[in-house]
Amino acid sequence: MATNASSGSLAEGKRLFGLKRWDLALREFMQVKAERITPEESTELAYYLGLCYTKLGRYDDGLLYLEQVITAGVDPLRVYQCRMTLAYIYAITSRSRLAEFELGQLIKNGFTSAQLYTTLAYAAWMQKKSVHALELYEKALEIDENNTTALNGIGYILVDTDQDVMRGLRFCRKAVDRQPQNAAYLDSLGWAYYKNGNAPEARMWLRRALDLAPGQEDIRKHLRIIVEDMKS
C-alpha cells in the first residue's frame, strides 16, 4: 500500500508537470518517499526533479538530479534528454566548455539533432567563436531548415559581427515570421534593422521585444544604443 501511495504522488507530479505547473509538480515530487519506490521509479523521480528545478531556474539543484539519471544510464533516451538539458544549463550560465563536453558525449554516442547543434552553436558563440558558431547553426538547418533558433542565431551573428548585415536581416525576418511573439527574435530583428541603417524600424521592433520581456537587459541595451544614436 505504501508503494501505491508513493506512486500516486509520482503520477500526480507527472500530471502537474504536463500542465506546466512546475512549482506544484516539484512540491508533489518532493513528497515521494525514495525508500518506498522501485529503483526504476527513483530514476524517473530524479529525472522529473531535475527538469522541474531547471524550469524554475534553480539550475544547480537541477544539475544534481540530472546527473543521477545519466549515471544510472538505464534509458538511452532519458540520458540524451538529460545531457541536452545539462548542456542548456551550462550554456546559459556561461559554462560553455562544460556544455560542449555534454554535447560531445552525445555526438560520440551517435546522437544528432538540430537542437544539439544549436546548443553547441550557442556555446561557441559565448566563447566568441563566431565562425564555428555559424557552422554549427548551418548544420542545424541541414537537419531542420525551419529551425527558428538556428535562423535567429545565424542572423544575429551576421549582423552583430558586421559579416553580412543584409543576409543577417533576412534570417532574422524568417525567425520572426515563424515565431512573432518571441522576444529574443524580435530583439535580433531590431538589432538587424539598426545595423542596416534603419534606426526607426529597429526601435519599433525592440520596443515590441521589451514589452514581451521587460526584464531582459540585452534588449534594453540595444534599445538604449538606438535611442541615443537617434538623438545625435
Any idea what the CATH number is for the domain that residue 175 is in?
1.25.40.10
Question: CB-side exposure of 89: number of CA atoms within 13 Å?
Answer: 25
* Beta-carbon count within 10 A of 231 CB: 6
In a domain, 109, yes or no: no
pLDDT at 7: 47
In a domain, 122, yes or no: no
In a domain, 58, yes or no: no
Question: Among all chains, which residue has been given the C-alpha cell 542545424?
Answer: 140
Max CA separation in the chain (angstroms)? 74
In a domain, 188, yes or no: yes
pLDDT at 3: 41
In a domain, 218, yes or no: yes
In a domain, 41, yes or no: no
Distance between CA atoms of 189 and 99, rounded to whole angstroms? 27
3-state SS string for the chain: CHHHHHHHHHHHHHHHHHCCCHHHHHHHHHCCCHHHCCHHHHHHHHHHHHHHHHHCCCHHHHHHHHHHHHHHCCCHHHHHHHHHHHHHHHHHCCCHHHHHHHHHHHHHCCCCCHHHHHHHHHHHHHCCCHHHHHHHHHHHHHHCCCCHHHHHHHHHHHHHCCCCHHHHHHHHHHHHHHCCCCHHHHHHHHHHHHHCCCHHHHHHHHHHHHHHCCCCHHHHHHHHHHHHHHHC
pLDDT at 8: 58
> What's the pTM?
0.76
pLDDT at 91: 86
The segments of the chain whose pLDDT lies below 70 read: 1-8
**Count of structural domains within the chain:** 1
The domain of 218 spans 154-232
Residue 36 carries which side chain, given as an amino acid letter? Answer: R
Under 8 Å between Cβ of 51 and 59: no
Under 8 Å between Cβ of 167 and 191: no
